[in-house]
Chains A and B, each alone.
Chain A
């Protein structure tokens, strides 16, 4: 029993980290552009399908291109569509990204068919690991390590690079960033692209864990929203803590009350928001209220 629970905890941890990855992308887009990107889940699916196509045609090494291409698609979407919504009614951004999500889903269905497709992890990651009482697939462990690395790397990117500084500053006062001689329109495209790139990485990683289907992003986007809200909009640390909480609570609910795991995170969110209106680590930002 203890072994089972521990294994569930590790699975919860892996899921939680993936959710964090998705939530962070959602969060930087929202923080800087003020757009709630309902299409974020669709970009996960796009990343996953791109990955499987690349693997089939060019072998595993080509897979690293999948997130990059997803990010590029994001940049194009920002430059052609999203850009026209800045400073307008927030409801319109919601409708546009909602339509985008449905469009991508239909486009994937049209191109690849609606049925679930298997996406096997590469051979060297297909084994099982037994570690004391914990039983885990090698691939899951690999996902854990890759996600952790990406999250740390992205944190360092925000913390130490010039573009990272611009993103952090711009989420608090974008106009002032422009007044310091920084080309805001390009920054906005870049931020949207980076958010989509993170979604692409998540898509690549979850492909072999969940099966590939055009609506696969839908299962991931709600947890991401929940995590962003629990952690506090715009807080990196908050997203990380909330992601792990949601992952763990979900995994443990599966253990004790299977079937109710999805509801558990919404209940968690309601409790947190009613007690702490701006989430665990959120600060008072006008744009969100």
Chain B
């Protein structure tokens, strides 16, 4: 019984029932059946388009190039050879496949809008050719009298088309569940992750594009046979949009979306055009309303009404969980003893003026846990990206087990045994937890091209996927869509995916970031276990754990390796301690004299603030009070939530709880521009000055009456006067920082928030910026976000320290400055309690 019910839910059966019912209805009312034939043809057309839009995540504006071209090929072939319809269909489909391969090979290197516009250009060229090449295509009149000897009657042809379309849908449904279809969906969700799992994204997309061409070509040939003629109209951009419109109307994330779209579109067109010539007057608002109110289309709307919203591109099930899950055994590739698994020789990288890697040398030994640490902006992630092949090196070489991989692409390095996890969560958000891991396991087997048999029937792959899931503790949540997982579980999943490939080297970029304490333990233990069979290179800010876990630590600071050795040695290295706690930068500024408590009224009062991104909680229960004219240092190690706090204050991130009072009234939920106008200015991390505007224009944009004049600004930063007409993109890092600060001053600001103002600046420039901030003190309140305590403690009245999203210290700057132990505990490299 259950099996029958399940079979009844098969989308191809539903399509058959819908098309059958429509046919019966039309025959019953005696209307021409060709309208339903047309619906069937456009369903196939839409399904072809959706193979690219819904499954692969590319939007072709001009898919009609295949529809039209195949139509012409079919017509010309049949007219000249008088062959039978089946031969015509076959030739036309093959022609569309070849065209798809050729066009795809040419344009799939382009992405996004450029890709879409290029497909449009191809369809327009085809339209112009069809419209003008009269001797062959019939020009504006098109071609008529295409012979249809088989299925001569409309009814016979209708049955033939419906049968063919249903077979096509069935094959597509198989494809969606086969290895290839599942890879497509992974590429759609996260191209970068797919690459790092060893998937050749370009090849996969090219195959999908070619297939789309073939399917649409088949539909085009059928339309030619139905009309027994072919016209250029279908190639024009107005009609190129039709199939896309239908697909979106039905729902791009639904397998049957194209069917619902074609039914609604064609029947409404038929009925409405009988009522009025201007049927678009009614139909366009319907489509617009769907775009605005039901982005998931007709089926999405129905699901929402039934309160069961879900994508139906594939079945929502996963293979049954085995009664006993085989314990996970790290599948390290054989490691040659003695040879470093990874070696970087003089690797260098610069972004404009900012050098993020000065000739880095690093060796990662087999079966060792090697940690790479360093303060914020040290260049760790850039270095990782060069190792993995995401960024090209400017100089130097990278070797994987002695083999030079410096110029190999990401997926090729992955296939040689380099696996990586990302600092920013990198998963396939619309796939189930199980499928995320299974894709990784499948990719590791290097057999992406299965087009027919269900990938979930591969017992070996399933078993491995269950083992990996179990190892990170996610086996119980395997069936859930990963979007619904809490942040910590997504982290675990990210790591699980890294474990799927048989690898020699694991590059783990902050695997503990954003995890709760209990999850941290699980992951830390797992990493330690992996280090027994792999070489592991780990970036992590949880210094306490790094010191406890690692076999070896390298410290990166301002693009240079300043230490390399055993944890105890590194922790005692004076240069490392200085890098983390900051040596006084020139030490010119005297500490604030007369620590008289400011009697000024409070300007900013934050109470119980909580905030995070996409469900994760970065900050919780933060309280903070700042008085008029007070200068405060907001300190904390990297990743503790300092920037998040600034985003919540400035209104670019909505707080999930708590309240922010500004001069006595609440500003929670206000828009960023309103908050700025109230007098809170931000000097953001990375400066964010406008590269295409001159210095003067950058300042003029921010200027408001009551702010400082240009004269005052130039007195503060004389260098900006010389560069006033230079474009932002041509400024050095220091000049950019000056512009960013000046931008906050030309408006009447009562509080200025500075996010890492000294990051990446040369010492002389740091001094200049410090002196400028010194000058501004007392004329406005200031919050300086820093990870170096010592570089700011001398400039401020008070200091707050965030640890893991909570305020761990709030008091006199002098108190903190005078207590190195406290500093070390809250900010430093030394283990807690030492």
Are these two chains actual partners, yes or no?
Answer: yes
The interface of chain A, by Cβ under 8 A from chain B, is: 36, 38, 81, 84-85, 88-92, 94-96, 98-100, 102-103, 105-107, 109-110, 114, 162, 165-166, 168-169, 171-173, 175-185, 218, 222, 225-226, 229, 233, 259-260, 262-263, 266-267, 269-270, 273-274, 277-278, 288-289
Shortest A149–chain B CB gap in Å is 24
- Asked if B328 lies at the interface with its beta carbon under 8 angstroms from chain A, I say no
Known A95-B248, A262-B128; judge A226-B121 contact (CB<8 A): yes
- Judging by beta carbons under 8 Å apart, are A99 and B288 in contact? yes
Q: What residues of chain A lie closer than 8 Å to B111, measured between beta carbons?
A: 289
Contact A176 B121 (CB under 8 A): no
Contact A184 B673 (CB under 8 A): yes
Say whether A95 contacts B132, CB under 8 Å. no
Picked from A110, A166, A176, the residue with its CB within 8 Å of the CB of B278 is A110
Q: A106-B281, A172-B690 are in contact. Are A81 and B673 (CB under 8 A)?
A: no
Asked if B117 and A225 sit within 8 Å, CB to CB, the answer is yes
A269 touches B285 (CB 8 A): no
Question: CB-defined interface of B134-152 with A at 8 Å, one 1/0 digit per residue?
Answer: 0000000000000000000
Question: Which one of A166, A172, A226, A288 lies within 8 Å of B112 (CB-CB)?
Answer: A288
Query: Which residues on B sit within 8 Å (CB–CB) of A260?
Result: 128, 132
Which residues of chain B have C-beta atoms less than 8 A from A225's C-beta?
A: 117, 120
Extra inter-chain contacts (16) besides given A96-B291, A102-B283, A273-B110, CB under 8 Å: A91-B53, A94-B244, A98-B287, A106-B279, A106-B280, A106-B284, A162-B701, A169-B692, A181-B676, A181-B747, A225-B117, A259-B132, A262-B124, A274-B107, A288-B112, A289-B114
Interface residues of B in 752-778 (CB under 8 A from A): none
Count of chain B residues near A, Cβ 8 A: 64
Alpha-carbon distance A289/B701, docked complex (angstroms): 28
The one of B244, B287, B684 in contact with A176, judged by C-beta atoms closer than 8 angstroms, is B684
For the complex, give the distance between the alpha carbons of A168 and B727 in Å: 12
Check if B295 sits within 8 Å of A178, measured CB to CB: no
Instruction: Tell me if B248 and A103 are in contact (CB < 8 A).
Output: no
B685-706 interface bits toward A, Cβ cutoff 8 Å, 1 = contact, 0 = none: 0001011110001101110100
The closest CB in chain B to the CB of A277 belongs to B110
A98-B245, A273-B110, A288-B114 are contacts. A178–B285 as well, Cβ < 8 Å?
no
Tell which of A88, A92, A99, A222 touches B284, judged by Cβ atoms closer than 8 Å.
A99
Q: Is the CB of B113 within 8 A of A288?
A: yes
A172 to B673, Cβ gap below 8 A? no
Task: Tell me the chain B residues, 201-251 only, with Cβ under 8 Å from chain A.
Answer: 237-238, 241, 244-245, 248
Q: For B290, list chain A residues within 8 Å (CB).
A: 95
- The residue that B59 contacts in the complex, of A91, A106, A175, with Cβ under 8 A, is A91
Q: Are B245 and A95 in contact (CB under 8 A)?
A: yes
Find the B residue at minimum CB distance from A175. Answer: B652
Q: Which residue of B lies closest to A228 (CB)?
A: B117
* Alpha-carbon separation in the docked complex, A11 to B28 (Å): 58
Cα–Cα, bound, A169→B743 (Å): 13
Taking a contact as CB atoms under 8 Å apart, the answer to whether B114 and A263 are in contact is no
Q: Kindly state the separation between the CA atoms of A278 and B111 in the bound complex, as whole angstroms.
A: 11
CB–CB A273/B118 < 8 A: yes
Residues of A within 8 A of B279 (CB): 106
- Does the CB pair A166–B118 fall under 8 Å? no
The 8 A-B residue pairs whose C-beta atoms are closest, nearest first, are: A103-B284, A263-B128, A106-B280, A181-B676, A99-B287, A169-B690, A96-B291, A106-B281
A166 cross-chain contacts in B, Cβ below 8 A: 701
B832 at interface by CB-CB < 8 Å: no
Known contacts A99-B287, A107-B281, A260-B128; A274/B106 CB under 8 A: yes
Across the interface, A181 reaches (CB within 8 A) one of B278, B285, B677, namely: B677
Let me know if B682 is at the binding interface, CB within 8 A. yes
Residues of chain B contacted by A226 (CB below 8 angstroms):
121
**Given A180-B702, A266-B125, A270-B121, does the pair A92, B291 have CB atoms closer than 8 Å?**
yes
CA distance A54 to B118 in the complex (A): 39
Are B672's CB and A179's CB within 8 A?
A: yes
Pick the contact of B672: A102, A110, A169, A175 (CB < 8 A).
A175
Closest to B293 in A: A84
Complex interface: chain B residues within 8 A of A162 (CB):
700-701
Within 8 A of A (CB), among B563-613: none
- Which of chain B's residues have a CB closer than 8 A to the CB of A218? 237-238
In the complex, what residues of B have CB within 8 A of residue A90's CB?
59, 113
Provide 9 A-B residue pairs closer than 8 Å at the C-beta atoms, listed in order of the A residue: A92-B248, A95-B244, A105-B280, A110-B278, A175-B652, A181-B677, A266-B122, A273-B121, A274-B106
Residues of chain B within 8 A (CB-CB) of A165 are: 693, 697, 700-701
Find out whether the CB atom of B124 lies under 8 angstroms from the CB atom of A222: yes
Of B118, B128, B237, most buried by chain A (CB within 10 Å of CB) is: B128
Contacts of B283 in A (CB 8 A): 102
Please give, as numbers and ranges, the residues of chain B lying within 8 Å of A262 by CB-CB distance.
124, 128
- Given known contacts A168-B692, A181-B747, is B291 in contact with A95 (CB within 8 Å)? yes
* B671 at the A interface (CB under 8 A): yes
B476 at interface by CB-CB < 8 Å: no
Q: Report the separation of the CA atoms of residues A94 and B119 in the bound assembly, to the nearest whole angstrom.
A: 15
Contact B292 A84, beta carbon cutoff 8 Å: yes
| B129 at interface, CB cutoff 8 A | yes
- How many angstroms between the C-alpha atoms of A172 and B672 in the bound complex? 17
* Minimum distance in angstroms from B122 CB to a CB of chain A: 8
Q: Which of A84, A99, A182, A233 contacts B285 (CB 8 A)?
A: A99
Give chain B residues whose Cβ lies under 8 Å from the Cβ of A182.
Answer: 673, 701
User: How far does the alpha carbon of A110 sit from the alpha carbon of B697 in the complex, in Å?
Assistant: 47
Q: Which chain A residue lies CB-closest to B697?
A: A165
A36 interface neighbour in B113, B244, B691, B743, Cβ under 8 Å: B113
Interface residues of B in 695-739 (CB under 8 A from A): 697-698, 700-702, 704
A222 → chain B closest CB, angstroms: 6
Indicate if the CB atoms of A270 and B701 lie closer than 8 Å: no
B128 touches A266 (CB 8 A): yes
Nearest B residue (CB) for A105: B280
Measured CA separation A175–B672 after assembly (Å) = 8
A269 to chain B, nearest CB (A): 5
Distance from B595 Cβ to chain A, minimum over Cβ atoms (Å): 33
For B692, give its contact among A172, A176, A263, A289 (CB under 8 Å): A172
* A229 in contact with B117 (CB, 8 Å): yes
Is B277 positioned at the interface, with any CB of A under 8 Å from its CB? yes
Is B701 in contact with A266, judged by CB distance below 8 angstroms?
no
User: Which residue in chain B gives the minimum CB-CB distance to A104?
Assistant: B284
Q: How far is the CA of A182 from the CA of B124 in the complex (A)?
A: 41
Question: Is B701 in contact with A177, judged by CB distance below 8 angstroms?
Answer: yes
Q: Do A277 and B288 have beta carbons less than 8 Å apart?
A: no
Check B252 for interface membership: any CB of A closer than 8 A: yes
Q: Are A81 and B292 also in contact (CB < 8 A) when A106-B280, A173-B688, A179-B684 are?
A: yes
B650 in the interface (beta carbon within 8 A): yes
A34: nearest residue on chain B (CB-CB)? Answer: B113
* Chain A CB within 10 Å, residue with most, of B109, B244, B283, B288: B288
The smallest C-beta distance from B641 to any residue of chain A, in angstroms, reads 19
- Nearest-Cβ distance from residue B49 to partner chain A, whole angstroms: 11
Return the chain A residue nearest B125 by Cβ: A266
Which B-chain residue is minimally distant from A178 (CB atoms)?
Answer: B672
> Are the C-beta atoms of A222 and B292 separated by less than 8 Å?
no
Kindly report which residue of chain B lies nearest to residue A160, judged by CB atoms.
B697
Closest chain A CB from B262 CB (angstroms) = 16
- Cα(A274)–Cα(B114), bound, Å: 10
CA A288 to CA B704, docked complex, whole Å: 33
> How many Å from the CB of B50 to the closest CB on chain A?
12
Contact (Cβ within 8 A) B128 A81 = no
Give Cα A270 to B782, complex, Å. Answer: 53
* Assembly CA distance A277 to B281 (angstroms): 39
Chain B residue nearest to A183 in the complex (CB): B673
Known A266-B128, A273-B114, A288-B113: A178·B292 in contact at CB below 8 Å: no
Q: Are A181 and B673 in touch, CB under 8 angstroms?
A: yes
Q: How far apart are the CA atoms of A222 and B245 in the complex, in Å?
A: 18
Nearest Cβ on chain A to B98's Cβ, whole angstroms = 18
Q: Given A106-B281, A270-B121, is A81 in contact with B701 using a C-beta cutoff of 8 Å?
A: no
| Contact partners of A106 in chain B: CB under 8 A | 278-281, 284
Restricting to B608-645, which residues have a CB under 8 Å from any CB of A? none
